[in-house]
Structure 1
Amino acid sequence: MSDLRQAARAAGTGGNGARRRPAFIITIDVEEDDAWSGSATVATRNAAFLPRFQALCDRYGLPPTYLVDWTMATSPAFQEFGRAVLERGRGEIGMHLHAWTTPPILPLTGADHRHKPFLTDYPEHVMAAKVTTATRVLEDTFQIAPVSHRAGRWMLDETYARILVEHGYLADCSVTPHISWRGTSGAPGGRGPKDYTGFPEKPYFVDPEALHRAGGSPLLEVPMTIAVRRYGAVVERARALLSRSGPARRASGRLWPATTWMRPNGRNRRDMIELARRALHSGRDHVEFMLHSSELMPGGSPYFRTFRSVEALYDDIEALFAFASGPFEGLTLSGYRARFAADAGRPPESAAGPRRTG
């Protein structure tokens, strides 16, 4: 472990010149059960499965950031859980927004629960109203001013970023470097999904006029930790051949994925640990882990349908957390944003934007 600790110490220094460990940021999209299913019925039973995950985070000293959508923020079970987390200072609550379930409800299609419109598919005044609703429920329920955010279905654009700034948000984690969502549909005729392939891997303060570049806004973009995978020449040729047809392309993607995420999928424990290891050795000052709350409940997602698969998921998460807990420092999104702003020499007053919720 000594070489990893040396790499962690080399990853950066604080404003006073002191050596410090890179950040390990845990983000959980807290949302309804199996949001992938297209069901018109919204259930929030997965809230009851979060205490076990919180206990694992506590064990390794890694505080999570729960990014909470409106349906879960109105769930009594999550409300009780979230208040306990905040009272003990064991994590952060931020905002996540599913546009098709967050009031005001303005149907865009004949079946929004199936199409799942992006927030960016709506007129700007409706976008702002939905952000207001999602913000106020967190303010009123948990007596906080939420400052961290992730867009539903990863869809952020310049208009959305400006609305977040107007509402006082300081950290976003919607950008997925190396990933294009062009094959993902929202409302028919909507603005369409986002292509993040040319976006930075490292955090940056957003330019609300051009989301891909750094600017002077108070909103820090903390991109998801995603790396391009490199294969040998033979595999690359096979991937190129298979990519010419849809079914073969999908099979190729399963056999030889183009990217590696800091997100467990049931078969990537070693990949996640290697991502963390590479971040240490390359001097990165953070990695970002993500998961959906519903994936912690058997049958709550398409990916972990059985008790056994959830137990295996926990084994993978614990292996990663055990690896990270020494060389990394566990930080919430807002905690990381505060550290980043201090390192950038931003005075405290520049970190606080106006909070407009009405």
Structure 2
Amino acid sequence: MVQPAGNFFAEPAPSDLVELAADERPRFWVTIDTEEDFDWEAPFARTGYGLSSIPALADCQRYFASAKVKPIYLVDWPVVADDRAVDILGAARADGACEIGAQLHPWVTPPHDEDVSAQNSYTGNLPRDLQRAKMIALRDAIRDRFAMMPTVYRAGRYGLGGETAAMLAELGFRCDTSVRSGFDYRFGHGPDYRNAPLHPWWVRTVAGAVLEVPVTTVFGGLLGRAGEPVYHRVARNGTHAGAALARLGIVERIALTPEGIPADRACKAIDIAVDLRVPVLNFSFHSPSLQPGNTPYVRSQADLDLFYQWWDVVLDHLARRGVEATTAADIMAMAARRPPG
């Protein structure tokens, strides 16, 4: 059912979906949640986080620059406030080697007018005026620190709300990448993206249109795309059931990320997405994974070595499939050929 325009959770009209032209190949985009270090198992807190992973951004940027990939660093409030991050990322952006966007963690972003809680960790659950005030604070901090106005936004924890699109358009954002297709966060007070498209789509609001570029997740296994509803029914009570489905080869959910997804499965997901002619294969990971000990995915130097080896394998596979790196600017140019209907 098509819901009113201006809502990320509305089913897009066919005219609002962005499709590849007959002679176009899919492209890939590297989006990095560039954020503070904190204990993912602990309650949310406004203080007590670390920033020791910031210097590792330099190694990350050198790696992608050598691979001729221009990632977009979606920076949040503590990162923007860190001079080292501004020096590293500002220099790379000045060289044309990366892009910078915004990522909003509401619990560490002023104004601090809400209780810190799991529910309020999703920006879209906050009162509209408070959401908007936090967006403005982060947007303006990026403007002042990086001498540029961000136009790409990601809600921390993928926490969009029903009015987010209109606020983004009002505040000058032109692209959102908060939707994580194939995931359901309702158990933690978050959004439900199970039925979100893989293709980018235009979200129309009275303040203008925002392009949604979802983080890519595909479904493989014996059931193929038909297995997606099976996965959601069986795995709704936890990830172990989903893992069992994958082990049996019935259906598996594969996100394009080095965090928890083996390289061979990511390559399989690339093949599926290419066959589906998904215009933008949107990869993502969290910047604290660039330093051992911050996330469940990189606990040791050996894990970090494997993290970069993962990218070696995946980038090589993308090259073999003829999928080239892209940027936010290029994605917007591609989408502009099919303006919102």
| Fold agreement, TM-score > 0.5 | yes
Deviation per residue, 1:158-196 (Å, 9 max, x gap): 211111111110111111222111112xxxxxxx31111
Q: CA deviation at 1:320?
A: 0.7
Match of residue 218 from structure 1:
209
Contact 1:31-1:71 at 8 Å conserved across structures: yes
**Partners of 2:123 and 2:161 within 8 A in 1:** no
Aligned 8 A contact 1:266 1:312 in 2: no
The DSSP-based 3-state class of the residue aligned with 2:278 is: coil
Moved more, 275-284 or 89-98: 275-284
Give the TM-score normalised by the residue count of structure 2: 0.82
- Per the alignment, residue 101 of structure 1 pairs with 108
Matches within 5 A, 1:183-198: 183-184=187-188, 192-198=189-195
The one-letter amino acid of 1:155's match is: G
> Is 2:303 the partner of 1:314?
no
Aligned residue identity for 1:176: R
Q: How many residues align?
A: 309
Mapped to 1, the partners of 2:134 and 2:160 lie a distance apart of: 14
**Which residue does 1:172 correspond to in 2?**
176
Match for 1:200 among 194, 197, 201? 197
Q: 2:122 aligns with which of 106, 113, 118?
A: 118
**Residue 254 of structure 1: aligned partner:** 243
Q: Output the amino acid matched with 2:268.
A: E
Structure 1 gaps, min length 5: 1-10, 185-191, 210-215, 351-358
51-60 or 32-41: which moved more? 32-41
Report the CA distance shift for 1:202/1:12 in structure 2 as closer, same or farther (over 3 A): closer
SS at match of 2:89: helix
What is the aligned partner in structure 2 of residue 49 from structure 1? 56
* Offset at residue 325 of structure 1 (A): 3.8
Seen in structure 2, the aligned counterparts of structure 1 residues 320 and 304 have a Cα distance that, compared at 3 Å, is: same
Distance verdict in 2 for CA 1:282–1:75, change over 3 Å: same
Report what 2:329 is aligned to.
334
CA distance in 1, matches of 2:114, 2:20: 48
Give 2:218's aligned amino acid: A
C-alpha distance in 1, partners of 2:253/2:223? 15
1:298 to 292, 300, 308: 292
Are 1:89 and 2:96 counterparts?
yes
Give the aligned partner of residue 284 of structure 1: 278
2:29 aligned partner, one-letter code: I
The structure-2 alpha-carbon separation of the partners of 1:197 and 1:223, relative to structure 1 and needing over 3 Å to count, comes to same
Q: Cα deviation per residue 1:284-326 (whole Å; 9 max; x = unaligned)?
A: 3220100000111101112211111111111111211222246
Query: What is the CA–CA distance in structure 2 between the aligned matches of 1:148 and 1:243, rounded to whole Å?
Result: 35
Q: Secondary structure at the match of 2:60?
A: helix
3-state SS in 2 of match to 1:89: coil
Contact 1:266/1:316 (8 A) holds in 2: no
Task: Pick closer, same or farther for the CA change 1:263–1:198 going to 2, 3 Å.
Answer: same
Q: Give the superposition deviation at 1:253.
A: 2.7
- Pair 66,309 (structure 1): closer, same or farther in 2 beyond 3 Å: same
Matched, 1:153 2:160: no
- Residues 22-53 of structure 1, C-alpha deviation per residue, up to 9 Å, x if partnerless? 22100000000135243640211111111221
State the TM-score, normalized to the length of structure 1. 0.79
